[in-house]
Amino acid sequence: MFNDFKVGAVIASSFLKRGNKKTLAFIVFVLALIFVNLVFLPSMMGGIGRMFTNFMEYRYGDIIIEPSGDNLYINNADNILQKVRVVQEVRSATKRLDVGASIKYKQKIVGSTLTGLLPSEEYEISNYPYIISEGEFLGDSSRNEIIIGAMLVEGYFGSEIYDNLGAINIGSFVNVTYSNGITRTYKIKGIMEGTFELTDLNALINYEELKDVFDIDESKATSIVIRVKNPDDSAKAKEKIIAAGVKEPIFTKSEKSDAILRQAMQSLDLVNVISRYVSLIIGASLILIIIYINVLNRKKEIGILKAIGISPNSIVLGYAILSALYVLFGICAGLLLYFLLIFYFTTNPVIFYESIEIIPEIQWLLIIQSISAMLIMSVIAGIIPAWSVTKEKMIEAIWGR
């Protein structure tokens, strides 16, 4: 078998050296494009998924704890915060209150979710303080002030799709009617723009204000949001928080984003899978056609090789090696092209709606899988036509019949 392989390698090398170099360059170019199609589209999809996951930081931090069962509130939020803050991987944690309300400005009314937060703690938890496009973020003493999401304000991204309050200015006053019927007036202190519906359709207010409006105890919250020192340790931190005795449901940012975006991402994954299979089929067909034509053109030569004592196995292995070399050259060229595209789109991200950036994400496991799939495909595509010709009678092969 080893001798067959050595002879096959010599045959493949001979075919490669004597072959048309322009044809070889074209084959390599096409195979490079097929490889790029296998790995680049998933990289862009990964970038889209990461973008959505990063958007989750506004509401969910790295880890979020929510009420259990049908409970509206976490009843022992302060006690849970004490347990969470001693976990080594945790950098900071805070509690929040989310309530439904309607916001009225002049004659316009919109429904929204108001998030009650402790402003000074948010600087270490979320990006809320850093996405204020106009005005300022809340302070701990901001009891009569509110931050409005950009999609609720006329002229901002997304405001044309959803109902908005019109042209609000910093310092304008709005009336907020809560789900318990209480109405209060607040001054607009800032407008936040995160270019994502979960952020920009909401409003922010002081936790203490909501606690008074709903007459609830200090230790109640609708969520506890946690930021870890290293985002890669989120799952580990979650396990330690559970081990510390926290019984409420706990989710990492990735788990939350998967749950919210699962349907959309499944559709993208389906496109991904279809694209990969189509590319592999095209690549296999290309190699099969190339080797088949090559074999037909060298039918007489194959007959002569058999006549001088070269075994059919050596000839088949020769074409398998030749096919693998074609694909290997194509993969190398494809990798070069892929990393050039990654570099370009990393420095020049795809921009949507003026501010949303999509940067491709290198997926090493997918690259290894694609290389393996193309090499296996090439060997099979090289063996099939060569094996069929070597089964013919020697005289017929020499005469080219």
On whether the CB atoms of residues 266 and 50 are closer than 8 A, the answer is no
Read off the amino acid at residue 127.
N
User: Considering just the CA atoms, what is the radius of gyration of the chain in Å?
Assistant: 32
C-beta separation of 159 from 151 below 8 A: yes
Asked if pLDDT for residue 243 goes beyond 60, the answer is: yes
The residue type of 207 is Y
Distance between CA atoms of 202 and 146, rounded to whole angstroms? 11
Report which of 246, 230, 211, 252 is spatially closest to residue 82, judged by C-alpha positions: 246
Q: Rounded distance, CA 116 to CA 104, Å?
A: 18
Higher pLDDT pick, 170 / 266: 170
* pLDDT of res. 340: 93
- Give the mean pLDDT of the chain: 81
Q: What is the pLDDT of residues 347-394, one digit of tens each?
A: 887 766 555 667 788 888 888 888 888 888 777 877 777 676 666 555
Q: What pLDDT score does 69 carry?
A: 82
- Cα distance between residue 372 and residue 393, in whole Å: 35
Quick: pLDDT tens for 180-219.
Answer: 889 999 999 999 987 777 788 889 999 999 999 998 888 8
Residues 179 and 49: their CA atoms lie apart, in Å, by 34
- Whether 378 and 324 have beta carbons less than 8 Å apart is answered as yes
Domain-wise residue ranges, the chain: 2-54+260-399, 67-248
Looking at residue 25, its pLDDT comes to: 85
- The arithmetic mean of pLDDT across residues 155-161, rounded, is 76
| Euclidean distance between CA atoms 375 and 320, whole angstroms | 10
pTM above 0.75, yes or no: no
Comparing 224 with 42, which gets the higher pLDDT? 224
Distance CA 58, CA 56 (A): 5
For 265, counting Cβ atoms within 10 Å of its Cβ (0-12 exposed, 13-18 middle, 19+ buried), the class is middle
- What pLDDT was estimated at residue 173? 94
Q: Do 254 and 53 meet the contact criterion of CB atoms below 8 Å apart?
A: yes
Residues 6 or more apart whose CB falls under 8 angstroms from that of 217 comprise 75, 211
Q: How much is the pLDDT for 207?
A: 93
Sign of CA dihedral 332, 337, 343, 345: negative
> Tens digits of per-residue pLDDT, 299-326?
666 666 666 666 667 777 777 787 788 8
What is the widest separation between alpha-carbon atoms in the chain? 99
**Per-residue CA distances from 250 to 74, 88, 92, 255, 400 (Å):** 12, 17, 16, 10, 72
In DSSP notation, 14-40 reads HHHHHS-HHHHHHHHHHHHHHHHHHHH
Name the phi and psi angles at 217, rounded to 5: -75, 155
User: What percent of the chain has pLDDT above 90?
Assistant: 26
pLDDT of residue 49: 67
Of 199, 271, 219, the closest CA to residue 49 belongs to 271
